Amino acid sequence: MLNQQTLDNNKNNDGNVEQQPSSSSSSIQLAEKISKPTKKFKRNSTYSLSSKNSDKKSSSSSSFKLFTTTATDLIIDQFLRFNQQTIKMINCLSCPSETDPQMKESNKNDKKLKQWNRNESEVINMLLLGAGESGKTTIIKQMKILHIKGFSHEERLKKLQEIKQNVFESIKELTSNMEYLNPPIELVNPMNQPSLNFIKKLDTTQMETYDYPDEFFEHTKRLWSDPGIQACYLRSNEFFLIDSAKYFLDMIDKIRNPDYEPSDQDILRSRKRTSELQKIEFKVKVPKQNGGKMQPFCMYDVGGQRGERRKWFQAFIGIKAILFVVDSSSFDTKLREDGKTNRLKESIDLFKEVWSSSYLNKSGIILFMNKQDILKEKIQRGHRIENYFPEYKDYKLPKNKHEVEEEYEYRKARDFILDKFFQVTKDRNVCKHRFFSHFTTATDTNNIKFVFDDVHYCFMKENFDYII
Protein backbone atom coordinates (compact mmCIF):
# COMPACT_ATOMS: atom_id res chain seq x y z
CA MET A 1 0.00 0.00 0.00
CA LEU A 2 2.88 2.33 0.82
CA ASN A 3 4.69 1.69 -2.48
CA GLN A 4 1.49 2.27 -4.45
CA GLN A 5 0.91 5.58 -2.68
CA THR A 6 4.48 6.70 -3.41
CA LEU A 7 4.02 5.79 -7.06
CA ASP A 8 0.71 7.63 -7.34
CA ASN A 9 2.10 10.75 -5.66
CA ASN A 10 4.88 11.01 -8.26
CA LYS A 11 2.63 10.99 -11.31
CA ASN A 12 2.37 14.23 -13.25
CA ASN A 13 -0.80 15.68 -14.71
CA ASP A 14 -0.43 13.61 -17.89
CA GLY A 15 -0.51 10.38 -15.92
CA ASN A 16 3.22 9.72 -16.41
CA VAL A 17 5.50 8.82 -13.55
CA GLU A 18 7.94 11.60 -12.76
CA GLN A 19 11.58 10.89 -12.03
CA GLN A 20 12.01 9.92 -8.39
CA PRO A 21 14.94 10.67 -6.13
CA SER A 22 16.84 7.91 -4.39
CA SER A 23 14.96 5.48 -2.15
CA SER A 24 16.44 6.99 0.98
CA SER A 25 15.63 10.61 0.14
CA SER A 26 12.10 9.81 -1.05
CA SER A 27 11.47 7.95 2.18
CA ILE A 28 12.64 10.89 4.24
CA GLN A 29 10.50 13.32 2.22
CA LEU A 30 7.44 11.16 2.64
CA ALA A 31 8.17 10.74 6.33
CA GLU A 32 8.45 14.49 6.74
CA LYS A 33 5.21 14.98 4.88
CA ILE A 34 3.14 12.64 6.99
CA SER A 35 4.75 13.82 10.23
CA LYS A 36 3.29 17.29 9.69
CA PRO A 37 -0.02 17.66 11.51
CA THR A 38 -2.96 17.89 9.16
CA LYS A 39 -6.02 19.97 9.80
CA LYS A 40 -8.46 18.12 12.08
CA PHE A 41 -11.60 18.93 13.96
CA LYS A 42 -11.23 19.58 17.63
CA ARG A 43 -12.21 16.66 19.81
CA ASN A 44 -14.65 18.57 21.98
CA SER A 45 -16.75 20.14 19.28
CA THR A 46 -20.24 19.74 17.93
CA TYR A 47 -21.15 19.74 14.28
CA SER A 48 -24.19 19.43 12.04
CA LEU A 49 -22.73 18.68 8.65
CA SER A 50 -25.79 17.68 6.71
CA SER A 51 -28.97 19.01 8.24
CA LYS A 52 -29.12 21.87 5.77
CA ASN A 53 -28.16 19.75 2.80
CA SER A 54 -30.40 16.75 3.40
CA ASP A 55 -33.20 18.38 1.41
CA LYS A 56 -30.97 18.72 -1.64
CA LYS A 57 -30.74 15.97 -4.19
CA SER A 58 -27.40 14.25 -4.44
CA SER A 59 -26.11 12.20 -7.34
CA SER A 60 -23.62 9.39 -7.22
CA SER A 61 -21.26 11.43 -9.39
CA SER A 62 -21.11 14.26 -6.85
CA SER A 63 -20.42 11.82 -4.05
CA PHE A 64 -17.63 10.27 -6.13
CA LYS A 65 -16.13 13.72 -6.70
CA LEU A 66 -16.11 14.36 -2.95
CA PHE A 67 -14.24 11.15 -2.31
CA THR A 68 -11.78 11.84 -5.13
CA THR A 69 -10.90 15.31 -3.90
CA THR A 70 -10.26 14.15 -0.35
CA ALA A 71 -8.46 10.86 -1.08
CA THR A 72 -4.97 12.25 -0.50
CA ASP A 73 -5.90 13.87 2.80
CA LEU A 74 -7.55 10.68 3.96
CA ILE A 75 -4.43 8.60 3.28
CA ILE A 76 -2.21 11.12 5.06
CA ASP A 77 -4.56 11.26 8.04
CA GLN A 78 -4.64 7.48 8.25
CA PHE A 79 -0.85 7.26 8.27
CA LEU A 80 -0.69 9.97 10.89
CA ARG A 81 -2.27 7.63 13.41
CA PHE A 82 0.92 5.62 13.33
CA ASN A 83 3.14 8.67 13.04
CA GLN A 84 6.34 7.73 14.82
CA GLN A 85 6.13 4.02 14.10
CA THR A 86 5.50 4.60 10.40
CA ILE A 87 8.42 7.02 10.06
CA LYS A 88 10.75 4.40 11.47
CA MET A 89 9.35 1.81 9.11
CA ILE A 90 9.79 4.04 6.05
CA ASN A 91 13.41 4.71 6.94
CA CYS A 92 13.95 0.99 7.31
CA LEU A 93 12.48 0.32 3.88
CA SER A 94 15.42 2.16 2.34
CA CYS A 95 17.94 -0.17 3.99
CA PRO A 96 19.72 -2.19 1.25
CA SER A 97 20.54 -5.25 3.33
CA GLU A 98 18.35 -7.65 5.30
CA THR A 99 21.22 -8.05 7.79
CA ASP A 100 20.90 -4.39 8.79
CA PRO A 101 20.34 -4.06 12.59
CA GLN A 102 17.17 -2.06 11.96
CA MET A 103 15.55 -4.87 9.95
CA LYS A 104 13.98 -6.46 13.03
CA GLU A 105 12.34 -3.18 13.94
CA SER A 106 11.14 -2.85 10.35
CA ASN A 107 9.53 -6.27 10.50
CA LYS A 108 7.71 -5.33 13.70
CA ASN A 109 6.40 -2.15 12.14
CA ASP A 110 5.37 -4.04 9.04
CA LYS A 111 3.25 -6.30 11.22
CA LYS A 112 1.67 -3.24 12.81
CA LEU A 113 0.84 -1.85 9.39
CA LYS A 114 -0.79 -5.13 8.40
CA GLN A 115 -2.76 -5.08 11.63
CA TRP A 116 -3.87 -1.53 10.86
CA ASN A 117 -5.08 -2.66 7.44
CA ARG A 118 -7.05 -5.43 9.10
CA ASN A 119 -8.56 -2.96 11.58
CA GLU A 120 -9.80 -0.80 8.71
CA SER A 121 -11.87 -3.74 7.48
CA GLU A 122 -13.25 -4.62 10.90
CA VAL A 123 -16.96 -4.37 11.52
CA ILE A 124 -18.27 -0.89 12.33
CA ASN A 125 -20.84 -1.32 15.08
CA MET A 126 -23.75 1.12 15.12
CA LEU A 127 -26.47 1.32 17.75
CA LEU A 128 -29.97 2.55 16.93
CA LEU A 129 -31.48 4.47 19.83
CA GLY A 130 -34.61 6.53 20.27
CA ALA A 131 -38.00 6.54 21.91
CA GLY A 132 -40.72 4.11 20.88
CA GLU A 133 -42.37 4.52 17.47
CA SER A 134 -39.55 6.75 16.18
CA GLY A 135 -38.77 4.60 13.12
CA LYS A 136 -35.68 2.64 14.17
CA THR A 137 -36.92 -0.69 12.85
CA THR A 138 -37.76 0.97 9.53
CA ILE A 139 -34.10 2.02 9.23
CA ILE A 140 -33.13 -1.64 9.74
CA LYS A 141 -35.51 -2.66 6.95
CA GLN A 142 -34.03 -0.03 4.64
CA MET A 143 -30.53 -1.40 5.19
CA LYS A 144 -31.81 -4.82 4.14
CA ILE A 145 -33.37 -3.37 0.99
CA LEU A 146 -30.32 -1.29 0.10
CA HIS A 147 -27.49 -3.63 1.05
CA ILE A 148 -28.77 -7.23 1.42
CA LYS A 149 -30.85 -7.84 -1.71
CA GLY A 150 -34.13 -7.00 -0.04
CA PHE A 151 -36.85 -9.39 1.12
CA SER A 152 -37.41 -12.90 -0.21
CA HIS A 153 -40.80 -14.27 -1.21
CA GLU A 154 -41.01 -16.20 2.06
CA GLU A 155 -40.14 -13.12 4.11
CA ARG A 156 -42.82 -11.09 2.35
CA LEU A 157 -45.46 -13.69 3.15
CA LYS A 158 -44.46 -13.56 6.82
CA LYS A 159 -44.89 -9.78 6.77
CA LEU A 160 -48.42 -10.23 5.43
CA GLN A 161 -49.63 -11.40 8.84
CA GLU A 162 -48.00 -8.37 10.45
CA ILE A 163 -49.81 -6.06 8.02
CA LYS A 164 -53.16 -7.70 8.79
CA GLN A 165 -52.48 -7.13 12.48
CA ASN A 166 -51.83 -3.45 11.72
CA VAL A 167 -55.26 -3.24 10.07
CA PHE A 168 -56.81 -4.96 13.10
CA GLU A 169 -55.09 -2.64 15.57
CA SER A 170 -55.94 0.49 13.57
CA ILE A 171 -59.68 -0.11 13.25
CA LYS A 172 -59.89 -1.24 16.89
CA GLU A 173 -58.20 1.93 18.13
CA LEU A 174 -60.43 4.16 16.02
CA THR A 175 -63.69 2.49 17.06
CA SER A 176 -62.66 2.23 20.71
CA ASN A 177 -61.64 5.87 21.14
CA MET A 178 -64.27 7.79 19.17
CA GLU A 179 -66.75 7.87 22.06
CA TYR A 180 -64.11 8.97 24.58
CA LEU A 181 -62.94 12.03 22.68
CA ASN A 182 -64.02 15.45 23.88
CA PRO A 183 -66.39 16.09 22.24
CA PRO A 184 -67.16 12.46 21.32
CA ILE A 185 -67.67 11.29 17.73
CA GLU A 186 -70.45 9.09 16.36
CA LEU A 187 -70.95 7.24 13.10
CA VAL A 188 -72.54 9.39 10.42
CA ASN A 189 -74.16 6.49 8.60
CA PRO A 190 -76.37 4.43 10.98
CA MET A 191 -76.25 1.54 8.48
CA ASN A 192 -72.66 0.96 9.63
CA GLN A 193 -73.66 0.22 13.23
CA PRO A 194 -73.57 -3.60 12.71
CA SER A 195 -69.99 -3.25 11.46
CA LEU A 196 -69.09 -1.21 14.53
CA ASN A 197 -70.60 -3.87 16.79
CA PHE A 198 -68.66 -6.61 14.99
CA ILE A 199 -65.30 -4.84 15.42
CA LYS A 200 -65.93 -3.93 19.06
CA LYS A 201 -66.53 -7.59 19.93
CA LEU A 202 -63.08 -8.59 18.67
CA ASP A 203 -60.52 -9.34 21.39
CA THR A 204 -57.21 -7.53 20.86
CA THR A 205 -55.35 -10.29 22.71
CA GLN A 206 -56.28 -12.64 19.85
CA MET A 207 -54.91 -10.33 17.17
CA GLU A 208 -51.92 -12.57 16.37
CA THR A 209 -53.98 -15.77 16.14
CA TYR A 210 -57.04 -14.31 14.40
CA ASP A 211 -57.78 -15.96 11.05
CA TYR A 212 -58.93 -12.71 9.37
CA PRO A 213 -62.01 -13.86 7.46
CA ASP A 214 -63.34 -11.82 4.57
CA GLU A 215 -66.15 -10.67 6.86
CA PHE A 216 -63.59 -8.80 8.95
CA PHE A 217 -62.27 -6.87 5.95
CA GLU A 218 -65.78 -6.04 4.75
CA HIS A 219 -66.81 -4.54 8.09
CA THR A 220 -63.51 -2.67 8.33
CA LYS A 221 -63.95 -1.23 4.84
CA ARG A 222 -67.47 0.03 5.64
CA LEU A 223 -66.34 1.68 8.86
CA TRP A 224 -63.31 3.33 7.28
CA SER A 225 -65.56 4.92 4.65
CA ASP A 226 -67.82 6.43 7.34
CA PRO A 227 -67.23 10.20 7.81
CA GLY A 228 -67.41 9.71 11.57
CA ILE A 229 -64.42 7.33 11.56
CA GLN A 230 -62.59 9.71 9.22
CA ALA A 231 -63.20 12.56 11.69
CA CYS A 232 -61.88 10.37 14.49
CA TYR A 233 -58.74 9.69 12.45
CA LEU A 234 -58.08 13.42 12.07
CA ARG A 235 -58.00 13.66 15.87
CA SER A 236 -55.74 10.63 16.31
CA ASN A 237 -53.14 12.75 18.10
CA GLU A 238 -55.51 12.57 21.09
CA PHE A 239 -54.97 8.81 21.41
CA PHE A 240 -52.41 6.31 20.19
CA LEU A 241 -52.66 5.22 16.56
CA ILE A 242 -49.88 3.79 14.40
CA ASP A 243 -48.61 6.08 11.63
CA SER A 244 -49.46 3.56 8.92
CA ALA A 245 -53.16 3.26 9.86
CA LYS A 246 -54.44 5.30 6.91
CA TYR A 247 -51.95 3.68 4.52
CA PHE A 248 -53.24 0.16 5.20
CA LEU A 249 -56.92 1.04 5.70
CA ASP A 250 -56.88 2.68 2.27
CA MET A 251 -55.77 -0.61 0.69
CA ILE A 252 -58.19 -3.05 2.37
CA ASP A 253 -59.24 -4.62 -0.93
CA LYS A 254 -55.64 -5.27 -1.86
CA ILE A 255 -54.77 -6.84 1.50
CA ARG A 256 -57.83 -9.13 1.52
CA ASN A 257 -56.91 -10.52 -1.91
CA PRO A 258 -55.57 -14.12 -1.54
CA ASP A 259 -52.83 -13.36 -4.09
CA TYR A 260 -51.57 -10.25 -2.30
CA GLU A 261 -47.83 -10.13 -1.63
CA PRO A 262 -46.49 -7.11 0.32
CA SER A 263 -44.28 -4.69 -1.59
CA ASP A 264 -41.16 -3.06 -0.17
CA GLN A 265 -43.18 0.02 0.73
CA ASP A 266 -45.83 -2.11 2.46
CA ILE A 267 -43.14 -3.82 4.54
CA LEU A 268 -41.54 -0.49 5.42
CA ARG A 269 -44.92 0.80 6.60
CA SER A 270 -45.74 -2.29 8.69
CA ARG A 271 -45.32 -1.90 12.44
CA LYS A 272 -44.44 -4.29 15.24
CA ARG A 273 -43.26 -3.31 18.70
CA THR A 274 -39.58 -4.09 19.25
CA SER A 275 -39.06 -5.91 22.53
CA GLU A 276 -35.89 -7.81 21.68
CA LEU A 277 -32.50 -6.75 20.40
CA GLN A 278 -32.34 -7.00 16.62
CA LYS A 279 -29.17 -7.08 14.58
CA ILE A 280 -28.46 -6.69 10.90
CA GLU A 281 -25.09 -7.11 9.20
CA PHE A 282 -24.31 -5.65 5.80
CA LYS A 283 -21.42 -4.34 3.72
CA VAL A 284 -20.90 -1.02 1.97
CA LYS A 285 -18.35 -0.61 -0.81
CA VAL A 286 -15.44 1.70 -0.03
CA PRO A 287 -14.44 4.02 -2.93
CA LYS A 288 -11.73 2.60 -5.18
CA GLN A 289 -9.21 5.32 -4.30
CA ASN A 290 -9.52 4.26 -0.65
CA GLY A 291 -9.03 0.59 -1.28
CA GLY A 292 -12.25 -0.44 -2.96
CA LYS A 293 -13.00 -3.04 -0.31
CA MET A 294 -16.33 -3.89 1.25
CA GLN A 295 -16.69 -2.26 4.68
CA PRO A 296 -18.77 -4.44 7.02
CA PHE A 297 -21.35 -2.80 9.29
CA CYS A 298 -23.37 -4.22 12.14
CA MET A 299 -26.46 -2.28 13.19
CA TYR A 300 -28.35 -3.00 16.41
CA ASP A 301 -31.97 -2.06 17.04
CA VAL A 302 -33.18 -2.14 20.64
CA GLY A 303 -36.64 -1.67 22.08
CA GLY A 304 -37.60 1.99 22.30
CA GLN A 305 -40.31 1.58 24.90
CA ARG A 306 -39.41 2.50 28.47
CA GLY A 307 -39.39 -1.09 29.70
CA GLU A 308 -36.71 -2.04 27.16
CA ARG A 309 -34.22 0.76 27.85
CA ARG A 310 -32.43 -1.01 30.67
CA LYS A 311 -31.09 -3.42 28.03
CA TRP A 312 -29.37 -0.68 26.04
CA PHE A 313 -26.28 -0.43 28.21
CA GLN A 314 -25.44 -4.06 27.48
CA ALA A 315 -24.86 -3.14 23.85
CA PHE A 316 -22.76 -0.01 24.45
CA ILE A 317 -19.34 -1.65 24.66
CA GLY A 318 -17.38 -1.22 21.43
CA ILE A 319 -20.05 0.89 19.75
CA LYS A 320 -18.45 3.42 17.41
CA ALA A 321 -21.56 5.31 16.41
CA ILE A 322 -25.09 5.89 17.65
CA LEU A 323 -27.97 6.65 15.32
CA PHE A 324 -30.49 8.48 17.49
CA VAL A 325 -33.88 8.48 15.76
CA VAL A 326 -36.55 11.09 16.58
CA ASP A 327 -40.18 11.16 15.52
CA SER A 328 -40.30 14.84 14.54
CA SER A 329 -44.07 14.69 14.14
CA SER A 330 -44.68 13.59 17.74
CA PHE A 331 -44.92 17.12 19.19
CA ASP A 332 -48.68 16.72 19.80
CA THR A 333 -48.87 13.04 20.80
CA LYS A 334 -48.52 11.10 24.05
CA LEU A 335 -46.61 7.98 25.03
CA ARG A 336 -48.27 4.64 24.50
CA GLU A 337 -47.01 3.55 27.94
CA ASP A 338 -48.68 6.17 30.15
CA GLY A 339 -50.96 8.20 27.87
CA LYS A 340 -49.72 11.42 29.51
CA THR A 341 -46.11 12.22 28.61
CA ASN A 342 -45.49 14.25 25.45
CA ARG A 343 -43.58 11.99 23.07
CA LEU A 344 -41.29 14.70 21.69
CA LYS A 345 -40.36 15.84 25.20
CA GLU A 346 -39.65 12.20 26.05
CA SER A 347 -37.28 12.01 23.06
CA ILE A 348 -35.46 15.17 24.15
CA ASP A 349 -35.03 13.82 27.69
CA LEU A 350 -33.76 10.51 26.35
CA PHE A 351 -31.30 12.32 24.08
CA LYS A 352 -29.97 14.20 27.12
CA GLU A 353 -29.46 10.88 28.89
CA VAL A 354 -27.59 9.39 25.94
CA TRP A 355 -25.49 12.53 25.36
CA SER A 356 -24.33 12.70 28.98
CA SER A 357 -23.79 8.96 29.49
CA SER A 358 -20.25 8.06 30.53
CA TYR A 359 -20.69 4.75 28.70
CA LEU A 360 -20.86 6.63 25.40
CA ASN A 361 -18.13 9.24 25.74
CA LYS A 362 -16.24 7.79 22.75
CA SER A 363 -19.25 7.32 20.50
CA GLY A 364 -20.19 9.62 17.65
CA ILE A 365 -23.87 10.54 17.53
CA ILE A 366 -25.91 10.94 14.36
CA LEU A 367 -29.34 12.48 14.85
CA PHE A 368 -32.07 11.37 12.45
CA MET A 369 -34.94 13.87 12.57
CA ASN A 370 -37.37 11.32 11.18
CA LYS A 371 -40.95 11.36 9.83
CA GLN A 372 -40.56 14.69 8.06
CA ASP A 373 -43.41 13.72 5.73
CA ILE A 374 -45.84 13.37 8.64
CA LEU A 375 -44.57 16.58 10.28
CA LYS A 376 -45.16 18.53 7.08
CA GLU A 377 -48.65 17.06 6.71
CA LYS A 378 -49.54 18.01 10.28
CA ILE A 379 -48.33 21.59 9.90
CA GLN A 380 -50.31 21.97 6.68
CA ARG A 381 -53.43 20.61 8.43
CA GLY A 382 -53.12 23.30 11.10
CA HIS A 383 -51.61 21.43 14.04
CA ARG A 384 -49.99 24.10 16.23
CA ILE A 385 -46.68 23.45 17.97
CA GLU A 386 -47.16 26.40 20.34
CA ASN A 387 -50.01 24.51 22.03
CA TYR A 388 -47.40 22.06 23.34
CA PHE A 389 -44.23 24.17 23.26
CA PRO A 390 -45.25 27.77 24.14
CA GLU A 391 -41.75 29.07 23.35
CA TYR A 392 -42.44 28.40 19.67
CA LYS A 393 -44.33 31.70 19.51
CA ASP A 394 -41.06 33.59 19.97
CA TYR A 395 -39.02 31.41 17.60
CA LYS A 396 -37.71 33.43 14.67
CA LEU A 397 -36.52 32.07 11.33
CA PRO A 398 -35.62 34.21 8.29
CA LYS A 399 -37.98 33.67 5.40
CA ASN A 400 -36.51 32.81 2.02
CA LYS A 401 -37.38 34.98 -0.95
CA HIS A 402 -40.39 33.66 -2.92
CA GLU A 403 -41.03 31.01 -0.24
CA VAL A 404 -44.71 30.13 0.08
CA GLU A 405 -46.23 30.46 3.54
CA GLU A 406 -47.01 26.79 4.17
CA GLU A 407 -43.48 25.77 3.16
CA TYR A 408 -42.05 28.39 5.51
CA GLU A 409 -44.22 27.19 8.40
CA TYR A 410 -43.04 23.62 7.88
CA ARG A 411 -39.38 24.69 7.71
CA LYS A 412 -39.79 26.81 10.83
CA ALA A 413 -41.34 23.89 12.73
CA ARG A 414 -38.63 21.53 11.50
CA ASP A 415 -35.79 23.80 12.58
CA PHE A 416 -37.41 24.60 15.92
CA ILE A 417 -37.58 20.91 16.81
CA LEU A 418 -33.99 20.35 15.66
CA ASP A 419 -32.81 23.28 17.81
CA LYS A 420 -34.30 21.57 20.86
CA PHE A 421 -31.75 18.80 20.41
CA PHE A 422 -28.92 21.19 19.54
CA GLN A 423 -29.40 22.88 22.90
CA VAL A 424 -28.54 19.58 24.59
CA THR A 425 -25.21 19.40 22.75
CA LYS A 426 -24.20 22.86 24.00
CA ASP A 427 -24.19 21.87 27.68
CA ARG A 428 -20.60 22.44 28.84
CA ASN A 429 -21.07 20.31 31.93
CA VAL A 430 -21.30 17.04 30.00
CA CYS A 431 -19.00 15.22 27.59
CA LYS A 432 -18.86 16.15 23.92
CA HIS A 433 -19.32 13.93 20.88
CA ARG A 434 -18.90 14.16 17.15
CA PHE A 435 -22.42 15.13 16.10
CA PHE A 436 -24.23 15.08 12.78
CA SER A 437 -27.90 15.64 12.01
CA HIS A 438 -30.17 14.76 9.10
CA PHE A 439 -33.80 15.31 8.22
CA THR A 440 -35.16 11.92 7.22
CA THR A 441 -38.23 10.03 6.08
CA ALA A 442 -37.45 6.43 6.95
CA THR A 443 -40.05 5.03 4.56
CA ASP A 444 -38.38 6.82 1.62
CA THR A 445 -35.64 4.50 0.32
CA ASN A 446 -33.96 7.18 -1.80
CA ASN A 447 -33.80 9.57 1.15
CA ILE A 448 -32.29 6.95 3.46
CA LYS A 449 -29.77 5.89 0.79
CA PHE A 450 -28.56 9.47 0.39
CA VAL A 451 -28.40 10.03 4.15
CA PHE A 452 -26.55 6.80 4.88
CA ASP A 453 -24.08 7.43 2.04
CA ASP A 454 -23.42 10.83 3.60
CA VAL A 455 -22.95 9.30 7.05
CA HIS A 456 -20.58 6.67 5.63
CA TYR A 457 -18.59 9.39 3.87
CA CYS A 458 -18.27 11.42 7.07
CA PHE A 459 -16.95 8.39 8.93
CA MET A 460 -14.44 7.63 6.19
CA LYS A 461 -13.28 11.23 5.95
CA GLU A 462 -12.86 11.87 9.65
CA ASN A 463 -11.20 8.54 10.45
CA PHE A 464 -13.23 6.51 12.93
CA ASP A 465 -10.60 5.85 15.55
CA TYR A 466 -10.04 9.59 15.96
CA ILE A 467 -13.54 10.99 16.01
CA ILE A 468 -15.87 8.21 17.08
244 is in an annotated binding site: yes
134 is in an annotated binding site: yes
380 is in an annotated binding site: no
Q: Which residues is 126 bridged to in the sheet?
A: 299, 321
370 is in an annotated binding site: yes
24 is in an annotated binding site: no
136 is in an annotated binding site: yes
Query: In one letter, which amino acid is 248?
Result: F
Terminal CA-to-CA distance of the chain, rounded, Å? 25
265 is in an annotated binding site: no
Helix residue spans in 81-212 (DSSP H):
83-93, 103-120, 136-147, 153-177, 193-201
Q: How far apart are CA 131 and CA 304, in angstroms?
A: 5
196 is in an annotated binding site: no
269 is in an annotated binding site: yes
273 is in an annotated binding site: yes
216-220: long-range contacts, CB 8 A cutoff, minimum separation 24: 216/168, 217/167, 217/252, 217/253, 217/255, 217/256, 219/194, 219/195, 220/167, 220/171, 220/195, 220/249, 220/252
How many residues does this entry show for the chain? 468
Tell me if 220 sits within 8 A of 199, measured CB to CB.
yes
88 is in an annotated binding site: no
Q: How far apart are CA 391 and CA 394, in angstroms?
A: 6
271 is in an annotated binding site: yes
Neighbours of 290 (CB within 10 A): 17
For 371, counting Cβ atoms within 10 Å of its Cβ (0-12 exposed, 13-18 middle, 19+ buried), the class is buried
Q: How far apart are CA 410 and CA 396, in angstroms?
A: 13
279 is in an annotated binding site: no
Residues contacting residue 267 through CB under 8 Å, at least 6 positions apart = 141, 151, 156, 159
272 is in an annotated binding site: yes
246 is in an annotated binding site: no
442 is in an annotated binding site: yes
Q: How far apart are CA 85 and CA 137, in angstroms?
A: 43
413 is in an annotated binding site: no
274 is in an annotated binding site: yes
The values of phi and psi at residue 24, to 5°, are: -65, -45
306 is in an annotated binding site: no
Tell me if 152 sits within 8 A of 262, measured CB to CB.
no
Tell me if 414 sits within 8 A of 375, measured CB to CB.
yes
Q: What is the largest CA-CA distance in the chain?
A: 98
Known binding-site residue numbers for Mg(2+): 137, 274
Known binding-site residue numbers: 133-138, 243-244, 268-274, 301-305, 370-373, 442
Known binding-site residue numbers for GTP: 133-138, 243-244, 268-274, 301-305, 370-373, 442
